[in-house]
Structure formats: structure tokens, C-alpha cells
């Protein structure tokens, strides 16, 4: 999602130039009971426009919907509503075009929009905030933001899943060593590995969908904390904004940000997942492994060592998971122990969420492109596969011959130990070493990587029939 807006940082950083009539930041909006303005240091602390301008879309849409509620409450005529809506639409269009509408005395996005509206449509603009507080307004904007980002991210995850599915089909017949503890463990098809990523992402989508639902209650009508005094049609406003529900308690509505925590929780599960696949791709693209070639566009060179082609894309995705975790901790820490209802601490809720959402978005994009362009080096991988990957298969074959599994494990373990001390593959040990293995010659022939994989057609296993079923299910999930 591209969100264009003027760069407000430079504008709002300047100390506001106060005239005797003006009261500086926010003063024109709430300064009735104040003799003077804020101290410059306090302004610097207070101003949130440099980051909450990100909510301009939600804020303006929220205000447009609010006018519907005000008509129903008898506060606005339909003509006034139409004038307000067209004024708000004009502001939205101008901001989308990148026009610089904000001024240093705008405290936050809510006040900025109201000021611009009043300047454009006159005194009518002053009626907009009837029955509303910035407390229910900001909660509404922020919930809408979370819902939209959650929707966008779900769509992006599906893009990554689509690519993973395609690559799984590309590598249906190619084997690799599966690892546990980063030691070669058992043969698996590369497709199986790629589908593990696909299915984990399925849960990330459902976590985001749940965060969407939690955010999907509209606070407008809650006022500052006690509820609006006007007979405001909350359902009408909620429907207009795409909220499936309205909040059921005005203190709850204005105080709590658990929907944002849930969203960050979902993003962090995703971030950690991406980081762990990124880590595999980093290791596998080393010359020691040589399993994977990353697309050149996702690697970078060294300023000193001409031979280097570093997997920076995947290292950054790995690193960004730490950044997202920071956002999660940051919001939790702000919220801990806050008294009810609204406290200004809550202004600190937005930046971590914006940052984590944007980070997740770019990480997903890069990961999708990396998966689409990476090339497994299938021949080199086969060469690195150690025969000991088949040790479990030999034990399983002995079990089929009636040997209890513990005994089979012991017999094979001895073979492997002997092979290791002699520096050969257990398959190359002489017949006398295999004396405890009944029917050894026949069993040995059954010990191939393909046979190992194909013994595992159990649901969810790496056998090719199981993979076909996984692919089929994956296809239906993406439909
Ligand atoms: N900028 C504020 C925030 O993000 C808006 C709400 C201000 N409410 C207030 N009572 N001062 O939380």
C-alpha cells in the first residue's frame, strides 16, 4: 500500500511561531481555558503529526462517516453533511496528491484535518467534532488502520504462498538431506521442505485475520470515555466504515489497544518464521553447503573483497525480525499498568505498529521475490547427502522383519559407529560387520534415498504421494 503524504517532519519540527492571538500547537482547538500556549519543549513532546499523519486516510473517512451519525442525531442537516463530506473529500484528494496542507501548529492528524476543513468550508467545520472526542476518534482510526494492514498482509502472504507452491512443483522430484540439530537426519524432497513454509504461513494468515476481527469494533460514539450525549447512529457509521461491530463499552473502547498487540503478535510470529527460512537460505548459499543460489538482485558485493556475493536480503529479513520484536515489546511496555480510561501515553501506540507493519510488508515482498528466483543446486545437494541418512530406514526394515525397534536401533548404531571409526560409509562395510542384520544383502539393496522418501507416504510425510496431496490441498487453500 503506497501512502503518499507531504513530509511533515521538517514542517512540524520547527518551533511554532506564535502570534499574540495564536496559542501555538493545538491551542486554537482546545485552548479556551488557557491563557497562553505550550512551552516549546512541551510542544516538541506533544506533537504527533510527524507520525500520525500516516492515519490521514482513516481519519478523513472516519470523519465523513461521523457526519452520517450526526445527521441521524439531528445535529447536522443533510445539506450540511454534504458540504462537510465534499470538503473532507477535497482534503483527502489533496493529501493523496502530496499537497502540503499541514502547518506547525497542527498537533495531530485529527486537529490538522479539522483545521483545514474549517478554513475551507467556514464555521460549519466547527460542528464536525460534535459528540466526538479525539479519544474515540483515534481509536477508530487506529483500528481501521490495523484492519487494512492486516488485509493487505494476508494478501501478500498469499502471494508468497503462491510462489512457494510453484517452486514446490519445480522441485517435486529432487531430494535433499533433511536436518535436525543442523545434522543430516533423513532424506526429504525439496518440495516437502518448501511446503513446510507454505503451511506455516497459513497460520500467519489466520492470526492476522483474528487480529482483524479484534480490531473490527467501532469506537465512535464513545466520546471521551462516557459515550456521546447525542442520539448518534453508531451502527450506521460502523457499516459505512466497514466495521462488523461497534464497541460495547465506551471506557473499553477508548482505553484499550489489545487489538494492536494482537496485530503485532501476529506480525512477530510471521517475522520469526521468515527469519528462520532466511537463515536456512543464508547457510545453504555458503560455499560450504553450496545448496542454493540466490538471485543476484537479492545479494550484494563487498566493498573490499571482490569475490564476495553476500546474501544480504536474507540477512536483513533475519535482522528485521528483531526490529519487529522491539515494536512488540515497546507497545506492551507502554500499555502496562495504564489507568482507565484514555491517557496520553496511548499516543505512543502508533509508531511501533506502523513500523512493524511496514517492515513485515517489505520483508514479505523480498522473501517472495527471493523464493521465486532462487535455484537449488540439486546435483551438488545429492553429492553432499550422506548414506547415514538411511540409518533410520535400516532400523525400520529390521522392525518389519520382527526385531523390536530398540534392538534394531542398537544394531544399526553399532554399524554406524564402526563405519565412522573406519572412515567409510556403513553401506560399504564388509559382510561380517553386517552379521547381526538378518537378510542383509536384500535389505542393503532397499537402502536408497528415493526408497527412504517413498516409504513415507503417510499423510504429511515426504513421500511423493503425500506431496501430491499437500500440493492439492495447498491449491485449494489459495483458491
Ligand atoms: N494524538 C492523540 C493520540 O494519538 C490523540 C488523542 C488525544 N486525546 C487527548 N485527550 N489529548 O493519542
Q: Domain locations in the chain? A: 2-9+41-130, 135-235+242-380, 388-470
pLDDT tens digits along 272-331: 999 999 999 999 999 999 999 999 999 988 787 878 789 999 999 999 999 999 999 999
Q: Is the predicted pLDDT of residue 181 greater than 60, yes or no?
A: yes
Catalytically active residues are 181, 302
pLDDT tier, 8 (very low <50, low <70, confident <90, very high otherwise): low
Output the CA–CA distances (angstroms, integers) from residue 48 to 92, 134, 241, 349, 373, in the order listed.
19, 13, 24, 11, 41
Q: Determine whether the shortest distance from the Cβ of 255 to ligand 1 is under 6 A.
A: no
pLDDT tier, 16 (very low <50, low <70, confident <90, very high otherwise): very low
* Ligand 1 atom at minimum distance from 224 CA: 10
Average pLDDT of span 165-188: 98
Backbone angles phi, psi at 100, to 5 degrees: -90, 95
Q: How many CB atoms lie within 10 A of CB 168?
A: 23
CATH topology classification for 388-470: Ribonucleotide Reductase Protein R1; domain 1 (1.10.40)
Ligand 1 centre from 348 Cα, in Å?
Answer: 10
Ligand 1 centre from 135 Cα, in Å?
Answer: 6
Q: Return d(Cα 322, Cα 333) in angstroms, integer.
A: 16
Backbone angles phi, psi at 293, to 5 degrees: -115, 120
Q: Is the predicted pLDDT of residue 191 greater than 70, yes or no?
A: yes
Ligand 1 centre from 253 Cα, in Å?
Answer: 14
Output the CA–CA distances (angstroms, integers) from residue 244 to 218, 232, 285, 436, in the order listed.
8, 17, 47, 68
Q: Tell me how far the alpha carbon of residue 431 is from its chain's centroid.
A: 56
Q: For a substitution probing ligand 1, which of 45, 142, 345, 347 has the most ligand atoms within 8 Å of its CB? A: 347
Average pLDDT of span 459-471: 98
Q: Is the predicted pLDDT of residue 247 greater than 70, yes or no?
A: yes
Helix (H) or strand (E) holding 189: strand 183-189
Ligand 1 centre from 231 Cα, in Å?
Answer: 24
Q: Return d(Cα 390, Cα 449) in angstroms, integer.
A: 7
Q: Is the predicted pLDDT of residue 14 greater than 70, yes or no?
A: no
Q: Return d(Cα 472, Cα 475) in angstroms, integer.
A: 5
pLDDT tier, 32 (very low <50, low <70, confident <90, very high otherwise): confident
Average pLDDT of span 55-82: 97
pLDDT of residue 318: 98
pLDDT tier, 31 (very low <50, low <70, confident <90, very high otherwise): confident
Residue with CA at minimum distance from ligand 1 atom 11? 344
Percent of the chain with pLDDT strictly greater than 90: 89
* Beta-carbon contacts of residue 474 (< 8 Å; ≥ 6 apart): 161, 165, 168, 195, 198, 199
Peptide linkage before 168 cis (omega within 30 of 0): no
Three-state DSSP at 458 gives coil
Q: Is the predicted pLDDT of residue 13 greater than 60, yes or no?
A: no
Q: Is the predicted pLDDT of residue 349 greater than 70, yes or no?
A: yes
Q: How many CB atoms lie within 10 A of CB 228?
A: 22
Q: Is the predicted pLDDT of residue 417 greater than 80, yes or no?
A: yes
Q: Determine whether the shortest distance from the Cβ of 138 to ligand 1 is under 6 A.
A: yes
Mean pLDDT of the chain: 94
Q: Return d(Cα 410, Cα 366) in angstroms, integer.
A: 46
pLDDT tens digits along 232-245: 999 999 999 999 99
Average pLDDT of span 407-425: 95
Q: Return d(Cα 422, Cα 369) in angstroms, integer.
A: 45
What the block records as the C-alpha cell of 94 is 489533496
Q: Return d(Cα 82, Cα 296) in angstroms, integer.
A: 54
* Ligand 1 atom at minimum distance from 107 CA: 1
Sign of CA dihedral 65, 66, 69, 71: negative
pLDDT of residue 152: 98
Q: Determine whether the shortest distance from the Cβ of 33 to ligand 1 is under 6 A.
A: no
CATH topology classification for 2-9+41-130: Fumarase C; Chain B, domain 1 (1.10.275)
Average pLDDT of span 391-409: 93
Q: Determine whether the shortest distance from the Cβ of 108 to ligand 1 is under 6 A.
A: yes
Identify which of 80, 92, 107 has the alpha carbon closest to the alpha carbon of residue 24.
107
Residue with CA at minimum distance from ligand 1 atom 2? 347
Q: Determine whether the shortest distance from the Cβ of 205 to ligand 1 is under 6 A.
A: no
Q: Determine whether the shortest distance from the Cβ of 284 to ligand 1 is under 6 A.
A: no
pTM above 0.85, yes or no: yes
* Ligand 1 atom at minimum distance from 342 CA: 10
On the CB side of 390, how many CA atoms lie within 13 Å of its CA?
22
CATH topology classification for 135-235+242-380: Fumarase C; Chain A, domain 2 (1.20.200)
Q: Is the predicted pLDDT of residue 455 greater than 50, yes or no?
A: yes
Residue with cell 492486516: 150
Residue with cell 506547525: 104
Q: Return d(Cα 290, Cα 433) in angstroms, integer.
A: 34
Ligand 1 centre from 67 Cα, in Å?
Answer: 20
Q: Tell me how far the alpha carbon of residue 97 is from its chain's centroid.
A: 28
Q: How many CB atoms lie within 10 A of CB 103?
A: 15
Output the CA–CA distances (angstroms, integers) from residue 106 to 50, 111, 124, 138, in the order listed.
10, 6, 19, 15
Q: Return d(Cα 149, Cα 161) in angstroms, integer.
A: 18
Amino acid at each position: 500500500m503506497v501512502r503518499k503524504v507531504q513530509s511533515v517532519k521538517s514542517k512540524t519540527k520547527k518551533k511554532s511561531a506564535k502570534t499574540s492571538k495564536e496559542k501555538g500547537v493545538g491551542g486554537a482547538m482546545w485552548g479556551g481555558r488557557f491563557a497562553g500556549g505550550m512551552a516549546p519543549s512541551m510542544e516538541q513532546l506533544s506533537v504527533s503529526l510527524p507520525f500520525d499523519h500516516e492515519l490521514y486516510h482513516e481519519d478523513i473517512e472516519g470523519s465523513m462517516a461521523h457526519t452520517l451519525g450526526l445527521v441521524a442525531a439531528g445535529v447536522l442537516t443533510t445539506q450540511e453533511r454534504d458540504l462537510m463530506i465534499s470538503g473532507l473529500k477535497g482534503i483527502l484528494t489533496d493529501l493523496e496528491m502530496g499537497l502540503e496542507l499541514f502547518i506547525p501548529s497542527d498537533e495531530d492528524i485529527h486537529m490538522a484535518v479539522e483545521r483545514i476543513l474549517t478554513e475551507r468550508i467556514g464555521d460549519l467545520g466547527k460542528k464536525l467534532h460534535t459528540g466526538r472526542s479525539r479519544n474515540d476518534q483515534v481509536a477508530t482510526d487506529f483500528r481501521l488502520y490495523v484492519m487494512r494492514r492486516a488485509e493487505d498482509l494476508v494478501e501478500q502472504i498469499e502471494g508468497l504462498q503462491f510462489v512457494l507452491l510453484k517452486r514446490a512443483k519445480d522441485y517435486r522430484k529432487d531430494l535433499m538431506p533433511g536436518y535436525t540439530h543442523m545434522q543430516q537426519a533423513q532424506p526429504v524432497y525439496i518440495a516437502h521442505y518448501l511446503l513446510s513454509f507454505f503451511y506455516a504461513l497459513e497460520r500467519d494468515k489466520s492470526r492476522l485475520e483474528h487480529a482483524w476481527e479484534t480490531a473490527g469494533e467501532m469506537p465512535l460514539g464513545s466520546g471521551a470515555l462516557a459515550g456521546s450525549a447525542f442520539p448518534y447512529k453508531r451502527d450506521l457509521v460502523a457499516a459505512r466504515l466497514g466495521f462488523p461491530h461497534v464497541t460495547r463499552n465506551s471506557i473499553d473502547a477508548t482505553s484499550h489497544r489489545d487489538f494492536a498487540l494482537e496485530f503485532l503478535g501476529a506480525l512477530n510470529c510471521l517475522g520469526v518464521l521468515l527469519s528462520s527460512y532466511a537463515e536456512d537460505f543464508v547457510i545453504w548459499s555458503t560455499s560450504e553447503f553450496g545448496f542454493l543460489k540466490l538471485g543476484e538482485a537479492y545479494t550484494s558485493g563487498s566493498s573490499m573483497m571482490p569475490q564476495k556475493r553476500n546474501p544480504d536480503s536474507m540477512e536483513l529479513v533475519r535482522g528485521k525480525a528483531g526490529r519487529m520484536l522491539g515494536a512488540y515489546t515497546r507497545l506492551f511496555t507502554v500499555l502496562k499498568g495504564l489507568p482507565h480510561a484514555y491517557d496520553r501515553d496511548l499516543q505512543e501506540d502508533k509508531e511501533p505498529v506502523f513500523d512493524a507493519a511496514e517492515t513485515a510488508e517489505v520483508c514479505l515482498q523480498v522473501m517472495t521475490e527471493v523464493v521465486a528466483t532462487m535455484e537449488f543446486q540439486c546435483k551438488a545437494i545429492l553429492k553432499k547427502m550422506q548414506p547415514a541418512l538411511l540409518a533410520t530406514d535400516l532400523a525400520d526394515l529390521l522392525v518389519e522383519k520382527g526385531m523390536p525397534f530398540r534392538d534394531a536401533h542398537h544394531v544399526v548404531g553399532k554399524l554406524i559407529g564402526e563405519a565412522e571409526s573406519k572412515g567409510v560409509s556403513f553401506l560399504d562395510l564388509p559382510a561380517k560387520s553386517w552379521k547381526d542384520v538378518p537378510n542383509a544383502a536384500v535389505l542393503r539393496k532397499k537402502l536408497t534415498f528415493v526408497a527412504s522418501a517413498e516409504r513415507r507416504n503417510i499423510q504429511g510425510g515426504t513421500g511423493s504421494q503425500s506431496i501430491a496431496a499437500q500440493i492439492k490441498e495447498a491449491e485449494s487453500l489459495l483458491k
